[in-house]
A and B are shown apart, each in its own frame.
Chain A
Amino acid sequence: MKKITYILILSLIISSCERFLDVKPVGSLIPTDIEQFDNLLYNSKTYDFLFSDNNRGSLLLSLSDEVTISDKVVLASYKGVSNDRFTPYIFAKPYLNPFKTDDYFLEAAYKATLYFNTVIDGIKDLGGEESTKGKQLIAQARAGRAWTYLMAGITYGPMFKKGGDNSSKTISYRTASSATKETPKLSTVDELFNLAKGDLEYAVVNCPSEVIKAVRVNKTTANAIMAQMYMFKADYENMFTYAKTAWDLLVSARGEDNALYNYNNFFLKPGVKIPKVGEDHELYDALNDPSGDILNNPDNKEILFYRYCPLDGLASKASDEYIALFNADTDIEGDRDSYADLRKKFFMLKVNTQATEGACIRDVRFGNNLGDYTKMCGTQGISTPELLLMLAEAAARTNRTAVALSALNLLRSKRYTPAAISANSARINALTGDNLIHEILKERQKELPWKSAKRFWDLKRYNANDPGKPWTKTQITRTVLGTQYTGVIGSDDYQLEIVNKFITFNPHWGLEVYNGAWPSIVL
């Protein structure tokens, strides 16, 4: 009897094991409802470090015409040095070290899309794609994915050429979240834009009207991204439609006054910080806006769609051409109160970049919110002034001159002194056609963050779709230590290469591993 009792106890213990084990591990969050995917869209991988390197700078800045490096700096910092921020400055392909096991640019893009794809697939797996919340989240994820792939596509491949051949290969538009699913073949430029359009069409319909902060996409933003996509496609009619919708949504939600800062209201707090030797005093002074907004914050009112803006590029200074953009005939150099353009007054400052260089002019307005040198938060996504200027540009390009002028004047009213506005209003209001477009594009260049990839993308789109226009460039030439280096904008000089690691893992892309020397030119 005794023995039987023991045997019974033992069998009981053994038989209850399966149930005992059938418990999900605690301490780990295994998503069970779609709300949990909402938090994934707050992850910094979706908005931070995109199109920047791990030191928060960007080599794409080196491909723009807004920077220049003096020979002194080259000798001190880049002579005999392999640096992927310098290789593009002298157009020494490949720009990225092909042997490195990480490529900040493409890798960051795929890390971001992993989050978007996980949200889309995760909600579908839980059967939530038809619920309102599910649709909103999927729409935000698809908008995020579309923007990321579009920008990566025009960085690694050629720009869309309206009416031209768009069959060149760019990047792979991966939509699977599972690590075991295969990555698709490289898309052509045409396919890339079509896939992005599909995502954005869903987003425009399903995105929520409101979001907490600008890293997430609302209806306004979705329309703005759509407008941006059409801008790169040179489809100005559609660009106008979506830019106008976006702007109208923005204004109806906030009112025009809350869409843009009026720089005339800005002021410097006196004497808070002491500048370093040789620097302009204002650099260390806090810039305030009486509304109390925190300018150096991704939540400031001009950030519509926040994507990290690089802090720096080469140890560079603003090119003369860029500085000249901000000059007016009436400016008395050294007397900041006389400057017509308030952007010049507050932000074009002398800053120590390098011991060898000494103080030189840099645009200290945009960067991210980490740097000492930045006054306002910038974005590589879309800002409200950019949206306004997209509207102006699309209107000007589709001969809606009045709309274009109205938008342009609205921005000018926030950026110039009243005296400068009244002195120039006649000239501005008389602008038409290419002259009007050119004026809008100059404002656009001044509004876009200096240290970002924005100018690089614009150089490419003007080159592809505005041949022969006054704002279009075909090549950029640099002189370094007496040697001239020329980059042709329409060529692969203006495309990043896919590094070996990606090629090895994706043989079906048909790309060849680079085996040559890197960098190909060492000064």
Chain B
Amino acid sequence: MIFSCGNLILQAQSVKITLDIKEGKVEQALAEIQKQSPYKFMYNTKLVNVEQKITIKCKDVTLNYALDELFAGKKISYKIVDNQIILSPKNILNDPENDKIKQIIVKGFINDISVGTAMPGVIVQVKGGKETVLSDEKGNYEITVPGNAVLTFYCLGMKTVEVSVNNRIVINVNMEPDIVSLNDIVVTGYQTISKERATGSFTIIDTKITESKLQPDLKKILEGQAAGLTFDNNGNVSIRGTATINANVKPLIVVDGFQFDGNLEDINPINIDNITILKDAVSTSIYGTRAANGVIVITTKRGQKDAFKVSYRGVFSARAKTNFDTFNFGSTSDIIDGEIANYDQTWFYLGPESEMSPVQDLLYNNDRATAITAIDKLRSFDAVRQLEKYIQRMSITQSHNLGISGGSEKSQFNAAINYVGSYADKKAMIHEKNEKLIFDMKNTWTPAKWISFDMSANVLYTNSQSPLDEWSDLLPSDEKMINYDKMIYAYSNLFDASGKSQNIRTPVPSSVLAAFNDPSRAANMLSSEYNPVADLGREMSFTNSLNVRLSGNFTFKLFDGFSVNVGGAWRRGNTNAKEIREKESFYVRYRVNSWTDINNSMKKYLPYGDILNEARSITDNWTIRYQANYNKSFNDNKHRITALLGGEIIRDQINGNAYPTRFGYNRQAGSYESINYLDFRSGVYNNSILSYTYPSMTDGKMSLRDNRYTSWYGNASYEFNSRYIISGSARLDLTNFFGTDPKFRYKPIWSAGATWKIANEGFFDNSTVNILNLRASYGINGNIALGEGPYLILSPGSYSAIAGGTYYSISSPVNDQLRWEKTATTNIGFDLAILKDRFGASVDLYNKLSTDLLASDAVNPTTGFANLTKNVGSIRNRGIEASLRSLVVKNNNFSWNVNLNFSYNNNKILTYNKSYPYVYDFLDPRTYKEGFPVGAMFAFKSAGLDAEGYPQVYDRNGDIQSGNALFTFGDADLKFMGNSISPYELALTNSYSFYNFDVSFMFVSKLGGKMRMDSFTGMNYTNRHFAERWQNPGDENKEGMVYPVYDAMGGSGWQFYLYPYYDVHVVSTNFLKLRDLSVAYNVPDKLTKKIGMHNTKIYLQGRNLFRLTAKGVDIDPETQQTAYDPDTYEYYIATAMTGRPEIYFGLSFNF
């Protein structure tokens, strides 16, 4: 269908038409007339057959003449209304039967509910009847109809409304944007405009596609749906690359017009009407300083008039267990060989016998042959496989969504309740449970035609529990040998033959052992039995949160085209997080034993009971907004003006309180025993206790925030003759924590854009092209970094036993020259639709230059600072985004849609002057380096292994150096390997409809990135490549030999610590995944209507079923991470749980 609306009458007589079509179709003639006149045809393809053959020839005739000629004998009648020509089948319009029923005059008012303004030019028609009128400039209409008629209200871009007259004489109608069917509406949060009238770069996500995905998490659903919207390995969202160094990198999320501080996961994905991604400056500048990273605008569903509807969707899903091969361990036997080699090289460094590992113990206390015989018996155990088998769970998730909507003329409502419950979802471990409940409610009232009121409420409740341990805490590694807490070795036998967890050997430090060895004291000691698997459930974290969000908006229509909104939103959240270590856990017993008096074993300095760490946090933020809107067309729609002007006040508060650790806690009673925290910190017991192993303990911490903003904004757009649009936008943001210098305080943010609708030009003579719009925009956005300011800011630390007081640090010196970061974006794009929208494309080219970035700038070290934050950084993002869509096949029983989203981002840090003290600082891809992209990956240039199996490296001059020389290396000695963030992204979705089946599958691909592979690097003998290491002279010459000699002492100096960062370990992250495959069956209504069900749909969906990676890469690039351990100052290569296949089963229906 093609609809159009307008509100002024055109002079049909002045138009001259020339047609010359031989053996063509009616359709062709319509296209010709449209081209030659400002008129648009409006017809329903099901009722009007425009495929009919015609032959017509006329020259410079009037429009009426041409139309009469054209439709002669074609059973098509026409009516000219404004600049529209409405076509209908002749026989229905002239049905004399309708005249027999009593005619009444119906009047009413039509309101655009999204902006609250009157709607002129809406086509009001009797369904299947002959009367058609248009609403006037004030949105009023009047029509004479049979008393039992059904009225339909049409307007482009709005949902068609049907109302039964039922002999009523006043029928007011609210119309709302038609998001689902047309995808032609851009919702910016401040206004809703048709895509045709937008100049910026937007992506509107088809909610049909998002609804067809069964994941309960909106973030996962959005993947691949918009070019330029990217998700990294940690699930962080970004739009068009990283444009900041220190400031916020998250896109702004807006829900129902107001900023939303929660996460995408907190939004019910099934209760969404529209998702618009705002990407360039012209679309985002209205959000000012918070929009440099793009904006995701989400509109939740509204109620429908005259249609009380109940809908349900339930989904069950399961995710396969992780294959522990992905953790890259060697076999138990290889690991034991490693431990023996380790013993041989370091026995003189071993601690006391009581702290040795079982293998060390055997070697230390026996002759070699006896020891090896005993050790060989351990080779058959495999703790890694045992953990894989027993501690993992298949992740099971169920989600239920119930939606109710309905309403009357004056009031409509929509409510949805969404529950998601899952086991073993995040950590894939036993004892894990996550629950989420989202309740949404939205009401719209229009008590009078000059006023309407929207109100929505949203409640989010989450509850989760999981073991405190991560996989990395449980899995054996060479580092864990002397870790008293997790003494699991590859050969530990964690389970008996029946699969029941059992105790494993507990090394006890010699100081505590003394008490166990003394029978009189031993009786007062707690058991040292250790069952790490049972302990998983004894050391747990519990988190729950409740967030409530209320928003409301009044719209007053003051006079023609002018309206005022006043509204606001308030969100308050409460989070409570607890970590409980039960008294039965080894953790607690071990510490209480350690904190036993050296002379009196009855005296325990640490109370025996659960250990509780608890933190509570309240977030509270509100927005108040006032806005005036103006919408008007002049001179036969030749001039259209849309403008708005408004202001906002935002307050964002956090009040967090982490309580001091409670000892001797009793969950049932809520009681605990107090200890003297100061004494603990001061170490006054250290000399009296058996061993000082501190429990995880905090003195408590408060966190407060009160950020305030006031803003003024406005935008305006002008469209001339449906061909040219220009638009502009400006915003001024002020805040309380930043830029007291007035010179920097009042910095407006602005943008300008233009669109040229080439297909509407008279000279454009191509009937196959429906839309060809050229867009260009330029504008400035801002971004902020919290935590710096015009004051000397100190940060309180904790009690220092050495200094004898609570120390403060200088966290930020007086810095009154700071200002907002600026991002200037130039965007050029075009939209194309051809063959009646069978093929569409949108392509955008952007250049995003972020300057004045708050960045650490190296300063004179005599100031006591190495770096200071200044507005000195700059980053450039350039890229291409393309969205192609095609309806390849469309007939009654089969359709095939293809959607392709492609994006390329080229990112470069242009200015950044931070001094990094160590060469290995550059090895972290999060290090920013001038001249390179964000995420740049550097590596040492390997020069192979030397004759003793140690790694060698090329320096900047190309000379071969020993690995020890790395200490003197600088960044000039490093090789740039590429970007750890893939610049190319691709998502290809194919959807098929075949009779009652819908099938779709999506491939996603990221290309052009680099990552580091795991490797045996000289010391980590648990790695799978340990057995392939250098062992004999000459091994260094073997083809592809990269695994060095084993040296438990790490060679000397830096050799092995930095070997993971050699170029030989860098590989491509390229991958292609079949992200999902869905099959849905639409159950025919005739089968279900007896039980009152409609639109019943059964879904089956699989995720992550198939993966292709670059040659030689056997790990999942999406989970490989280079991590930095702040405790040990070491970088290490970590492999997280690989994305596992998931299967979903769903059912949805309406009542």
Using a CB–CB cutoff of 8 Å, the interface residues on chain A facing chain B are 2-3, 6, 9-10, 13-14, 17, 20-31, 36, 38-45, 47-48, 76-77, 80-83, 97, 99-103, 106-107, 110-115, 117-118, 122, 172, 174, 177-179, 183, 211-213, 215-216, 271-274, 276-278, 286, 288, 292, 294, 297-299, 306, 352, 355, 369, 501-502, 505-506, 518-519
Contacts and interface: CB of A to CB of B under 8 A. Distances in A.
Given A25-B789, A27-B704, A39-B796, A3 B807 contact: no
Given A80-B964, A172-B862, A20 B710 contact: yes
Contacts of A31: 792, 794
B684 to A, nearest CB: 8
Nearest to A80: B962
A20 B964 contact: no
Contact of B804 (A9, A14, A42, A122): A42
A439 B1113 CA distance: 71
Given A42-B806, A81-B1052, A518-B968, A355 B917 contact: no
12 contacts: A10-B626, A28-B793, A28-B812, A39-B808, A43-B809, A44-B807, A81-B1053, A100-B917, A179-B813, A183-B863, A294-B684, A299-B802
A19 to B, nearest CB: 10
A496 to B, nearest CB: 15
A179 B861 contact: no
Nearest to A10: B626
Given A24-B736, A215-B803, A277-B348, A13 B793 contact: no
Interface in B158-199: none
Contacts of B722: none
B1147 interface: no
Measured as residues with beta carbon below 8 angstroms from the partner, the interface class of chain B is: 35 or more
Contacts of A274: 352-353, 510
Contact of A27 (B345, B350, B684, B705): B705
Nearest to B562: A3
Contact of A273 (B345, B511, B654): B511
Interface in B711-747: 712, 734-737
Contact of B793 (A21, A30, A115): A30
Contacts of B970: 99
A354 to B, nearest CB: 9
Contacts of A272: 510-511, 514
A29 B793 contact: yes
B808 A36 contact: yes
Nearest to A509: B862
B234 interface: no
Nearest to A100: B917
Contact of A102 (B792, B862, B917, B964): B917
Contacts of A271: 514
Given A17-B710, A81-B1052, A178-B813, A25 B964 contact: no
A24 B790 CA distance: 10
Interface string B956-999: 00000010110110100000000000000000000000000000
B361 to A, nearest CB: 14
Given A30-B792, A506-B860, A82 B802 contact: no
A117 B917 CA distance: 25
Contacts of B861: 102-103, 106-107, 110, 501-502, 505
Contacts of A174: 862-863
B1049 A355 contact: yes
Contacts of B556: 2, 6
A40 B810 contact: yes
B564 interface: yes
Given A30-B793, A272-B511, A101 B917 contact: yes
B700 interface: no
B910 interface: no
Given A40-B810, A183-B862, A277-B347, 19 more contacts: A9-B566, A10-B647, A13-B647, A17-B710, A23-B736, A25-B705, A27-B705, A27-B706, A28-B791, A40-B794, A42-B806, A80-B965, A81-B1053, A101-B866, A213-B805, A272-B510, A297-B801, A505-B860, A505-B861
A29 B510 contact: no
Closest 4 CB pairs of A and B: A114-B864, A213-B804, A212-B804, A42-B807
B640 interface: no
Interface-centre pick from A9, A26, A107, A111 (highest chain B CB count, 10 A): A26
Interface string B849-876: 0000000001111111110100000000
Contacts, number: 235
Contact of B863 (A28, A110, A216, A306): A110
Interface string B653-692: 0100000000000000000000000000001101100000
A178 B814 CA distance: 7
A25 B348 contact: no
A115 to B, nearest CB: 7
A13 B859 contact: no
B1097 interface: no
Contacts of B792: 30-31, 118, 122
Contacts of A306: 802
Interface string B226-249: 000000000000000000000000
B915 interface: yes
Interface on chain B toward A: helix, strand, loop, or mixed SS? mixed
Contact of B794 (A9, A29, A41, A82): A29
A377 B859 CA distance: 35
Contact of A28 (B558, B647, B811, B917): B811
Contacts of B802: 44, 47-48, 213, 215, 298-299, 306, 369
B810 A81 contact: no
B686 A294 contact: yes
Contacts of A22: 736
A276 B1052 contact: no
B1128 to A, nearest CB: 13
Contacts of B810: 40, 114-115, 118
Nearest to A499: B861
Contact of B558 (A2, A25, A43, A111): A2
A22 B734 CA distance: 11
Contacts of A47: 802-803
A28 B654 CA distance: 13
Contacts of B558: 2-3, 6
Contact of A352 (B348, B687, B964): B348
B800 interface: yes
Given A17-B734, A29-B796, A39-B796, A81 B862 contact: no
A355 B860 contact: no
B916 interface: yes
Contacts of A27: 654, 703-706
Nearest to B735: A21
Nearest to A298: B802
Nearest to B806: A39
Contact of A114 (B351, B566, B704, B865): B865
Nearest to B807: A42
B510 A273 contact: yes
A182 B805 CA distance: 32
B624 interface: yes
Contacts of A117: 864
A455 B927 CA distance: 41
B616 interface: no
B687 A294 contact: yes
Contacts of A6: 556, 558, 564, 566
Given A115-B864, A213-B803, A29 B965 contact: no
B25 interface: no
B649 interface: yes
Contacts of B791: 24, 28, 30
A107 B687 CA distance: 35
A506 B861 CA distance: 9
A502 B804 contact: no
A44 B800 contact: yes
Given A10-B626, A212-B805, A352-B349, A81 B965 contact: yes
A181 to B, nearest CB: 8
